[in-house]
Amino acid sequence: MSAPTIDHTLDEILNLAASHFKVPREKLTPDDDFFKTLGIDSLQALDLLTRLEHHFRIELPDYELQGVSDFRTLANRIQARL
């Protein structure tokens, strides 16, 4: 089975983030600063990372989040491991 497209991955991330932090999905866009939009700190962002790991069945070291603050860049990091 081939890896999903980056757009598909991005969409899944936005859906998961919305559901995990109970924020309306329509309020999230790919280039959003997720710290601001989701109202979270860096530790809570790690929670999201764990959720994404389980969903995509990959392991993401904490450092993959270093310097990342938008969904699109996060999607690229995940896509590289699919």
Instruction: Give me the residues that bind other proteins (CB under 8 A), please.
Output: 33, 35, 41-44, 46-47, 49-50, 61-63, 66-67, 69-70
Q: Is the separation of the CB atoms in 75 and 16 below 8 Å?
A: no
Q: Which is nearer to other proteins, 1 or 63 (CB)?
A: 63
Q: Tell me how far apart the alpha carbons of residues 49 and 81 are, in angstroms, rounded to a whole number.
A: 13
CB of 70 to other proteins, least distance (A): 8
CB of 30 to other proteins, least distance (A): 13
Beta bridge partners of 70: 33
